[in-house]
Amino acid sequence: MPDSPQHADVFLAAFDRAETRELAPGDVLIAAGSPADHVFNILGGTLMLSRTGRDGRRQVLSFLFRDHFVGLTTTDRYYFTVEAVTAAKVACCSRVAFDAHLSRNPGAERAFLHMTFRVLEDMLDALYSLGQRTALERLAVFLLYLRHARRLAEGLPDSDRSLAEVALPMTREDIADFLGLQKETVSRSFAQLEERGLIQRAENHRITVRNLPGLRELAGVVDFASPRRLVRP
C-alpha cells in the first residue's frame, strides 16, 4: 500500500454536494452513545475526539483538522465524543450513503482503506509516545505534530518561516488529556521548553519555535511526514 498521488482521497467525493454544518467552539458534533448514523469530513477549524470513562477520566484520542474524516465505527453507536475546539465547518454524509458510495466506487474504497491505514499508523505513534516518552518529550512531539498539521492544511514547505508560529487552539487541559498528563504538568513542561530555549511563549494559545532541530532531537522525530515512524531502529 505505497503512497501514490492518485490515491488522494478519492473517497471524499462522497461529500460532494453534501450538507454542511457550522460549529461554534464547544459544540458537540458526535455524542458518545448516540446512534452512529453519519460520517463527517472536516472543511475547516479544529475538532477534538475523546473518550470519557465512567469515573470521569478523559482521553483525547485525536485532534482533527481540515480534510480529516470522522464518524465510522464497527459498532452501531458512537463510543467517542467529537466536539469543536474552534469555530469549524464540516460536511455531513449519512453512513448509508457513504457505504453505498464506497461500494459503487472501488477506487474510493481503496483510497478510504489507505486513509484508514494512515490513521492507524498515527495511533501507533501515539501509543509509543504515551508508553515510552516523558512529559517533556510528549509535549515536544505534540508541538511538532501541530506544526505538521498546519503545514499540511496550508500546503506549506517544511522550510516556511511562518511555521515557527504554532497556534494552540485547545486548552491546557485538552492537551493534558491528549498526552496523558495533568494540566499543571503541561504548564511546567512549556516553561521548561522555554527555559531550554527551544520555544518562546507568546499568548496562552500561541508559541513560537526558537530551535527546531533541538525540538526534533528532544522528540526523537525528524519530521511528521511519512515515514516519520522509523525512529532509526
Give me 130's grid cell. 504515551
Kindly write out the interface string for residues 159-178 of this chain, putting x where it contacts a copy of itself by CB under 8 A and - elsewhere.
------------------xx
Transcribe 104-120 into DSSP letters. Answer: H-HHHHHHHHHHHHHHH
With CB under 8 A as the contact rule, the residue among 5, 157, 213, 233 that binds a copy of itself is 233
3-class DSSP state of 72: coil
Which residues are CB-neighbours of 155 under 8 A, at least 6 positions away?
none
Indicate the residue among 54 and 161 with the shorter CB distance to a copy of itself: 54
Residue 19 binds a copy of itself, judged by CB under 8 A: no
Q: Which of 151, 175, 173 is nearest to 62 (CA)?
A: 175
Check residue 84 and report its DSSP letter: E
124 binds, among a copy of itself, DNA, none (CB under 5 to 8 A by kind): a copy of itself
Indicate the residue among 163 and 176 with the shorter CB distance to DNA: 176
Residue 52 binds a copy of itself, judged by CB under 8 A: yes
Tell me the Cα Rg of the chain.
Answer: 18
The answer to whether the beta carbons of residues 36 and 75 sit under 8 Å apart is yes
Write out the residues near a copy of itself by the rule CB under 8 A: 1-3, 32-33, 51-55, 57-59, 61, 72-77, 79-81, 95, 99, 102-103, 106, 109-110, 112-114, 116-121, 123-124, 126-128, 130-133, 177-180, 220, 226-227, 229-233
